[in-house]
Every structure is written in C-alpha cells, then in structure tokens.
Homo-oligomer: A and B are copies of this chain.
Amino acid sequence: MIRFENDYAEGAHSAILAKLAETNLEQTPGYGMDAHCDAARELIRRECGTPDADVHFLVGGTQANAVMLASLLRPHQGAVSPETGHIAVHETGAIEATGHKVLPLPSAADGKITASRVHALHRAHYADEAHEHMVQPGAVYISFPTECGTVYTKEELADLAATCRECGLPLVIDGARMGYGVAACGVTLRDVAACADMFSIGGTKVGALFGEAVVVTNETLRRDFRYGMKQRGGMLAKGRLLGIQFETLFTDGLYWEISRHAVTLAMRIRRAFEEKGVPLRYDSPTNQQFPILSGEALAKFRDRYAFSLWEQRDDGCAVARFCTSWATREEHVEALIRDIDRHCPRRRV
C-alpha cells in the first residue's frame, strides 16, 4: 500500500532526526527557554522580516489555533472562519471549548473568503439592532494554504488584512501547511507576516516529527501568551525538541527545499490527471490534489493506494484527496502516474 492519504504518514526529515540524536544528551532548561529555541526564534524572525515579533513553539495545530484565538478574543466574541475552515469543522469544537463561537463565513468554491465578505459581515453585525444579542466578530481566521489546497494571492491577503484592520479584527493565519503554500506561489513568509497579526508555521506536515511555530507580530497581542500555552497544554516540557526541529528546518533553507519537493511531485500528479481529462475539484497549486474520480477508477486505485475520500457524489463519482509531502518518494509518484494513465479513460475533450 502506497500512502498519499495525508502529509503526516512518516516520521521526520533525516536532518531532523540527526540533529535530535546529536543534541540528545545536552542538558537544557525546559519549556522553551533553551538556546535551540532562541536560535530558532531568531531564524524565524529573520525569515519573516519581523525583528520584534514573538515566536513560540507548540506541538500541534489544533492546539496552536485554540491558543492563538483564545489569547485575543473577549468572551462575547467569535472567530470568523471560512465555513470550510479547520476550526469550523475538524477540531471537535476546540474553539467552542474555550467559550467562543466560530462564525462561519460562506467561502467561495475554492475555500477562500474575501475582504468584501468580511466587511459585509462586520457591517451587518453592527447594523442589526439586536447586535448585543449576537456573537460579536472578534477576529478573522483563515488558513494558508486553505483546506482545499488553494492559496490567497498577495493582493488578496493584503486586502483582507486592510479590511481586518479597518474593522478592528485581528487576522489569524493557520499555516499548518505554510511551506507548501509559499512554495506554490509568489507569497512569502514576509508577506504573511506583514498581513497577519498572529500566524502559525507548520512543522508537523513539513518535515518535522511534530511542531508548529506561532509568530505574534501585533505588539498589543504579545503579552502573557505563554500563560495561555501552559494553560491549554501547549507548553512542551522538553521545549528544546521544538527548538531543535525549527532550527534545523530554517537553517540553509531546508523548510523550503522540503516544501518545493512536495509541490513539484503534486504538480506531476495534477498534470497526469489533467492529461486524462479528469476534473479537479479545486484548482490547487499545492501539495493536495482533489481529482473527481468515477466509482470504477476509485475502486482500482484503492487496491494499491491509500488516499482520502473527500466527498461522495450522488452520481457515483467521488472527490479523492492525494497528498504529497516532504517524504513522498519519486517512484511512488511515478507508479501513481502510470496507474492514472491506466485507470482513467480520457473523458470530456
């Protein structure tokens, strides 16, 4: 069984394992107060062009989202999120468990929300006579790239950020797959840092064993962030493990190399589907591809590959999700491409 089912099926990039082994017997203070964490913080600040930003390290994405949002929302506020957002759908109500409603905003077919929709929601809230009886929008949450593999352009991000500032809504960006987003388009970490008030940079899906870096650019939101990390179980005793991993990822461009590897392979898969006329559910330039497969094709792929069933359709077709990652092997992609060629009779020319 070859696994394209997600981007966390393997352990870590070999450079990370090597560094963990090399530093294993170093004695360090706990909870992220060690020299490796400090070095990683500095590397990330530099990469983001934000010398004053606070950088924290957490273990997982659900945790990072909950800690970020709970740190800045007041009790009566909710987080505006694309209706397909991870916090809206796949975190077992982690945000609600901190007392806050997720305010779902209809997203376009590509899973993205627009500045104008955010603006309209903000206006509509205060225009409603009963607004004190409704959850107040308190922040905007998006993912980059989105759950659908799509990316915001630099202009879209800037527009969203401008609107958020105008409305007094901090912009929080979930970057669990940040590397694959940046590798896919012209947006850089500097662009993200310039737009977001707070964002994460995913390690788990981009070469690390685990770990998300959280960057707090907005000065007024920095205070006491570590208390919230501890309270919500996000402060790792051996914090150095996170520091060591991010230090490795952001040394000599390893994070970007890893990201490009996955995106390049994903594009080869995408082209293989396209060449056979297989429609794609989303126009994704990143490491996740969503072909719409016939029931027949699906069955054939299932024998050999693990992939996610994204959406079952009434006509028997289904949207499948194939992910590449830092760990995807070229020969596996080649095998898949051969099978695409074999199992997908050309449709719709």
Q: Which residues of A contact B (CB under 8 A)?
A: 1-3, 5-6, 8-12, 14, 17, 20-21, 23-31, 59-63, 66-67, 70-71, 74-76, 78, 89-94, 96-102, 129-130, 132-136, 204-205, 209-210, 224, 226-228, 230-238, 240-241, 306, 309, 327
Q: Is the CB of B27 within 8 A of A94?
A: no
Cβ-neighbour of A25 out of B11, B25, B90, B204 (below 8 A): B11
Interface of A, helix, strand, loop or mixed by DSSP: loop
CB distance from A52 to the nearest CB of B (A): 20
Q: With the chains together, A74 CA to B66 CA distance in Å?
A: 14
Q: Is the CB of B6 within 8 A of A30?
A: yes
Known contacts A136-B224, A230-B132, A236-B60; is A25 also within 8 Å of B10 by CB? yes
Q: Is the CB of B238 within 8 A of A97?
A: no
**How many copies of the shown chain assemble into the complex?**
4
Q: Is the CB of B227 within 8 A of A132?
A: yes
Q: Is the CB of A30 within 8 A of B9?
A: yes
Q: Is the CB of B231 within 8 A of A90?
A: no
Q: Is the CB of B59 within 8 A of A76?
A: no
Q: With the chains together, A240 CA to B210 CA distance in Å?
A: 11
CB distance from A95 to the nearest CB of B (A): 8
Chain B residues contacting A226 (CB-CB under 8 Å) are 132
Q: Is the CB of B210 within 8 A of A236?
A: yes
The residue on B at minimum CB distance from A60 is B233
Instruction: Other than A60-B233, A62-B235, give 20 A-B pairs with Cβ distance below 8 A.
Output: A9-B29, A9-B30, A11-B24, A11-B26, A17-B20, A59-B210, A60-B235, A74-B224, A75-B228, A76-B93, A91-B133, A93-B99, A93-B101, A96-B96, A96-B101, A96-B135, A132-B227, A136-B224, A136-B227, A232-B232
